[in-house]
Amino acid sequence: MHIFILGSGAREHCLAYYISKSPMVTQLSVWPGNAGTNNWNIPKPESIDVLDWIVSLHVDFVLLGSEDGLVKGYVDYLQKEGVLVLGPNQSGARLEGSKAFAKTFMERHQIPTATSKVFTRQERLEAEAYIEQHPLPIVIKADGLAAGKGVTVAMKREEARQALRQLWEGNVFGAAGDQIVVEGFLKGREVSVFVLTDGKRYCVLPEAMDYKRVGENQQGPNTGGMGAISPVPFYTENVKKYIINKVIEPTILGLQKDGIDYRGFIFIGLMVDGDQASVVEYNVRMGDPETQVVFPRIAEDFLPILLEAAKGELSKTEIQVRPNCAITTVVASAGYPGAYKSGLEIEWPNDMPAGVQLFCSGVTQKGDQKVTSGGRVVSVTAIGKTIEEASILSQETAKKIKFDGAFYRKDIGKIYGD
Ligand code: AMP
Ligand code: GLY
């Protein structure tokens, strides 16, 4: 089979790496890719639109890594052209593309989540009044896609007022901020749960925890993710049961009731408090860097399962998972998540210890030299018997990836309490 993967992050490198191992694959193509996917990268003629180009390649299966294409309706287009593709159509992708849609979906289907109210720009006075009387902390979210930066968790009322001003006066997220969601604060610890569904049946993948803040001890601004672990110690059997019964089942049934034919990943961000959990957000794709710890733990050829989901014929409800621990540490460019330099030469480790795999994101090949081309540069995944073992292995390798200003969090694997 000829498989095509769209994307250029460490997530897509990881997807490509594991999919390439499947005996079903005769050809693998990645675009735009990065230096890590060099073996599979193919060039796109500039003159042609990306979707028309994919159709013209006559591949057997397409995987879309990020939410952008899903929210824009790439799946609808490709399906119309007869291409087998995994991912929700535009209607399903609203679970991530509109936080207001996700909240009303959860309310409609009684899925536990923070209380919330949606306001449009025209309802500014009402929004301001609501913020003034709401207990603190309070959470202000831009409705649309904002690259993970559209959320303010305000500890003080003035921060909430400022968030509103930035959205509606500063216009920092443009149309993505036309509507806002004002939400109650959820306490607890966050876990990322991944579900693969064909619209009717589903498999739950290994869970993960993302280290979102740029600095150690959960300090500094939010990033796309500075590291991840799997399994997650506080994701107990009871928590898992709660999430399956109260969140996953009603989500799949809710999609069906709403007439949405959802075939793809649902990545549910949840706040766990004791044995219970509430949904923080839905994403309609795999996470980055979570994929880099989830895929290494899948113990069987995942490609046939992905194909079944895309065809609406999922035959499994369980997947085989390795009992080991996976940790990924992200090596990033100085300045990230703000402005950073690109084109810096990277010193690459010569030999990789057993159990370590590098997944590239902001890495470009320039002749024989690898240079930086992004905020997050390399995701260093290590497998160990315990979190400690995997953490040491991942950190020791991250230390060997050198470029001017390279940094990484030294606490990936530490579990912060609440
Ligand atoms: P989101 O983009 O909705 O996932 O929000 C980004 C981050 O903000 C989440 O990963 C949480 O850490 C935090 N967050 C969002 N909503 C809430 C909430 N209602 N209560 C507490 N923290 C939240
Ligand atoms: N790491 C969070 C995300 O992929 O959305």
Domains present along the chain, CATH in parentheses? 2-86 (3.40.50.20), 115-184 (3.30.1490.20), 187-311 (3.30.470.20), 325-398 (3.90.600.10)
Note every long-range contact of 133-139, with CB atoms under 8 Å and residues 24 or more positions apart, other chains counting.
Answer: 134/160, 134/182, 134/184, 135/184, 136/185, 137/185, 138/182, 138/183, 138/184, 138/185, 139/114, 139/182, 139/183, 139/184, 139/185
**Burial class, 74, CB count within 10 angstroms (exposed 0-12 / middle 13-18 / buried 19+):** buried
Q: Are 102 and 144 in contact (CB under 8 A)?
A: no
Say which residue the tokens 């979906």 belong to. Answer: 105
Q: Are 359 and 381 in contact (CB under 8 A)?
A: yes
Question: What confidence tens digit (pLDDT) does each residue in 262-304 have?
Answer: 999 999 999 999 999 999 999 999 999 999 999 999 999 999 9
Q: Is the CB of 283 under 6 A from ligand 2?
A: yes
Ligand nearest to the CA of 287: 2
Cα–Cα separations (whole angstroms), residue 366 to 8, 34, 246: 16, 11, 50
Question: What confidence tens digit (pLDDT) does each residue in 252-267 have?
Answer: 999 999 999 999 999 9
User: Ligand 2 mean position to 66 CA, how many Å?
Assistant: 10
- What is the share, in percent, of the chain residues with pLDDT greater than 70? 100
Ligand nearest to the CA of 270: 1
Write down the pTM of the prediction. Answer: 0.96
Question: What confidence tens digit (pLDDT) does each residue in 194-247 have?
Answer: 999 999 999 999 999 999 999 999 999 889 999 999 999 999 999 999 999 999
Q: Is the CB of 7 under 6 A from ligand 2?
A: no
Q: Is the CB of 151 under 6 A from ligand 1?
A: yes
* pLDDT for 100: 95
Mutation probe of ligand 2 site: the residue of 11, 68, 96, 192 with most atoms within 8 A of C-beta = 192
* pLDDT for 174: 83
Alpha helices in 98-248 (DSSP H): 99-108, 124-133, 157-168, 237-243
Q: Whose CA is nearest to atom 5 of ligand 2?
A: 287
